[in-house]
Amino acid sequence: MYDGMPRPGSTIPSPAPLPVPLSRRRTLRAAALATALAAVLLSGCGAQQEPRTRDDAGGAAEGFPVTVDNCGTKTTYRKPPARAVTIHQHPAELMLALGLKDRMVGTAFPDSAVLPEFREDFEAIPELAKKEPSFETVLEAEPDFVYGGYASAFAENEGRSRKAFADAGIDTYLNREYCGKKQVSMKDTYAEINTIGRIFGVEDRAERLVADLKSRVDKTAAAVKDERDVSVFVYDSGDKSAFTAGGKSLGTEIIRLAGGRNVFADLDEVFGDASWEQVVDRKPEVIAIYDYAGAGNVEKKKKFLLSQPALADVPAIKNKRFVVLPLTATMLGVRPPYAVEDLARGLHPESFR
C-alpha cells in the first residue's frame, strides 16, 4: 500500500480560540510527551487499545455518544470534536465539503491545488507543515481530533502513533483506505463521508453530500454506458519499472465507471510495480498520469514516457493520449466522483459534446 508519498454545507460557528501563552504550550507539550512515554514503558509498544470515551461534565451532546471503530481503534465521542487537525489534503477537503471549517485549527501536507470551491476556506486555516508535522507541532495547535489521510500521518517511528495521541488526550481517525489490504471501492468513499459526518454531528450534511456525489457518478456512467471500454495504464512514477494502480485501488473502479479498463487490474495490490515489458504487451490506449507533489511534474512524466524507445509502439504513446488526474482525486474523499467525469471526458470525449 502506497503510504510514503501522498499521493459545501453551511458552517457551524464556534468561539474563536484565545491566544495560548507560550509557557502553557510548553507545559502541555511536556505533560503530553511524558504521559505518552510513561504509557509506552508500562504497556509496551503495540498493546491493544480499549475503547476510549471523552469525558464531559455536561454529559453527552444531542445525538451522542457516537462510537466509531476505525482501523482497530475504537473511540466513543460524547460530543463532536471542536479543534481538528488534518494531515494530508483529502481529509481537509472532505471536512470543508461538510461545512466544518470552524472546527479546523490546522492542516498539513497539501499535495495538489485545493479545489477552487474550498480554496478560500482552506487558506484561512493555519498550515502546520508542508509535509507531515512533528508530534510536538500538532500538540501546539491543541487539537482534540487528528484526521490522517495516509498511514504516514501516524508514523510510529516519527513519534506520531495513534497511541501517542491517545495518551495525550487526542482522538484520531485514519482514512479507511489504509485500514487493510481489501479492495477499495466508491462505497468506501461514501462510507468515509458518512462516518466523519457522524463524528462531527452533521449526518444530514453528509447524506446530502453523498447523494450529490452518487448522482454525479450515475450521470457520467450513463453517458458512457454504450461506449467500448478503453484500455488504460496508470502511471504514478518510476523509471526502471512502472509504479501503477493495481486491482485493489479506487483508481481501478474510477476507470471502470468512466468507461475504461485498467490494464493492471490483475495486480493484487492497491499500488505496485509493473515492468515496462508488461506495459508494452498490454497495449494501453490511454495513459492516466497521477499528479502530486514530489514525484516530478506532469510534463516531465510525459517527456519521459515519450522518450522511451521501448514504448514507441504503445497506442497511447503513438497517439499521445494522456489524461491527468491529481492523486488526491483517487483517494477516499470528495474528489473521486469528480475524477470519474474528468477521466470519462478524456476516454470518450464524443459522449460529452
Mean pLDDT, range 263-267, rounded to an integer: 97
E strands of the chain, at which residues? 52-53, 66-70, 73-77, 84-87, 104-108, 127-129, 145-148, 171-174, 230-235, 242-245, 260-262, 271-274, 286-291, 322-326
pLDDT tens, 284-326?
999 999 998 665 689 999 999 999 999 999 999 999 999 999 9
Number of compact structural domains in the chain: 2
Contact 55, 64 (CB under 8 A): no
Average pLDDT, the chain: 86
What pLDDT shows up at residue 62? 84
Check whether 114 has a pLDDT greater than 70.
Answer: yes
d(CA 341, CA 219): 9
* Residues near 346 by beta carbon (within 8 Å), at least 6 away in sequence: 286, 288, 321, 323
Residue 116 shares a structural domain with residue 263? no
Place 184 in a pLDDT band, splitting at 50, 70 and 90.
confident
What pLDDT shows up at residue 295? 59
Domain assignment present for residue 275? The answer is yes
Residue 167 shares a structural domain with residue 270? no
What pLDDT shows up at residue 61? 77
d(CA 60, CA 54): 9
Per the structure, the complete domain to which residue 117 belongs is given by 22-180
For residue 77, the cross-strand partners are 66
What pLDDT shows up at residue 65? 96
| Residue at grid coordinates 484565545 | 18
Domain assignment present for residue 27? The answer is yes
Residue 152 shares a structural domain with residue 295? no
Residue 168 shares a structural domain with residue 232? no
Check whether 7 has a pLDDT greater than 60.
Answer: no
Domain assignment present for residue 236? The answer is yes
What pLDDT shows up at residue 278? 98
Q: Which residues of 331-341 are buried (b: 16+ CB within 10 A; e: fewer)?
A: bbbbbbbbbbb
Of 162, 180, 198, which residue is a domain's last? 180
Residue 139 shares a structural domain with residue 279? no
Domain assignment present for residue 116? The answer is yes
CATH number at residue 117: 3.40.50.1980
Residue 239 shares a structural domain with residue 158? no
Domain assignment present for residue 298? The answer is yes
